[in-house]
Amino acid sequence: MPTEWQLRREICDIGRHVHERGLVAGTDGNISVRLSDDRFLISPSGTCLGMLKPDELTIMDQNGMALNGSQKPSSERWMHLAAYARRPDVMAAIHAHPPTTIALTVAGVAMSQCALPEVIISFGQVPVTDYATPATEEGAVAVRELIRQHDALILDRHGSLTVGKSPTDALFKLEKLEHGAQVLFMAHQLGRVRDLPPEEIAKLAALREQFGLGRAEDVASECIPPGTPIPRITRGPETY
Ligand SMILES: [Zn+2]
């Protein structure tokens, strides 16, 4: 288990990366880590993720009350706490504003759940939450059911929530989500998005399970009709 100081350093490193990659702007976005069942480390309100210092982070309890630290916990703490309350396996969460992901929701373009193999293997599917006023408890209401089954959520007109076993894991999911949105955006510009056929998606669903990333049934039913057989994938070379 990493020490609290190592987690503080990791949050700052990830914050810098998120800011430099343009996944947030200014003081947007927030990162948190579970220290125990009732203590969470979180970036403070009104600070830039790209300029965080380890001793600036705030510790809050499961009700969002600051336990120490000179600054207020992030105004999006309710969303983070909703994720921790419903997912005992989650150790870290990142809320960011990935621009292409947001643009798809503003334009009302659904992120195809059946087109990109890496997205299907990693996430199964990426749902879009109802719109919620940023920095309010509405954010927690919007995510609290969907986060039970999904590691990445798109927040309508607002951004993303990704969760994982560490801040780095949550960052990789955020990057994968935004990269998938960029590819789909470009495909839309080119005029066509071709979905994979169900039998190919069944193989990706099988790999998702075999890699321990989640369940085959996490894949959207619009991509793989119920009853489609899930094959066993052999990944070793059978012929040369
Ligand atoms: Zn936000």
Ligand 1 centroid – CA 164 distance (Å): 18
Whether residue 220 sits in one domain with residue 101: no
Domain harbouring 185, CATH code: 3.40.225.10
Give average pLDDT by consecutive 10-residue segment, the chain, 240 residues: 94 98 97 97 96 95 87 92 97 98 95 94 96 91 95 97 97 98 96 95 95 92 88 74
Whether residue 221 sits in one domain with residue 173: no
Ligand 1 centroid – CA 147 distance (Å): 17
- Cα–Cα nearest to 23, from 14, 10, 32: 14
Position 135 scores a pLDDT of 87
- Answer yes or no: pTM beyond 0.75: yes
Ligand 1 centroid – CA 27 distance (Å): 9
CA pair distance 201, 146, nearest whole angstrom: 22
Ligand 1 centroid – CA 81 distance (Å): 15
| Cα distance from N-terminal residue to C-terminal residue, the chain | 43
CA distances from residue 30 to 16, 66, 73 in whole angstroms, order as listed: 12, 15, 9
174 is a domain residue: yes
Position 17 scores a pLDDT of 98
Position 238 scores a pLDDT of 63
Give the domain extent around 204. 197-235
Whether residue 220 sits in one domain with residue 111: no
240 is a domain residue: no
Ligand 1 centroid – CA 155 distance (Å): 9
CA pair distance 172, 185, nearest whole angstrom: 20
Ligand 1 centroid – CA 191 distance (Å): 31
Phi and psi torsions of 5, nearest 5°: -65, -40
Position 233 scores a pLDDT of 82
Position 227 scores a pLDDT of 84
Q: How many domains does the chain have?
A: 2
Phi and psi torsions of 39, nearest 5°: -135, 130
Position 69 scores a pLDDT of 66
Whether residue 212 sits in one domain with residue 158: no
Ligand 1 centroid – CA 184 distance (Å): 22
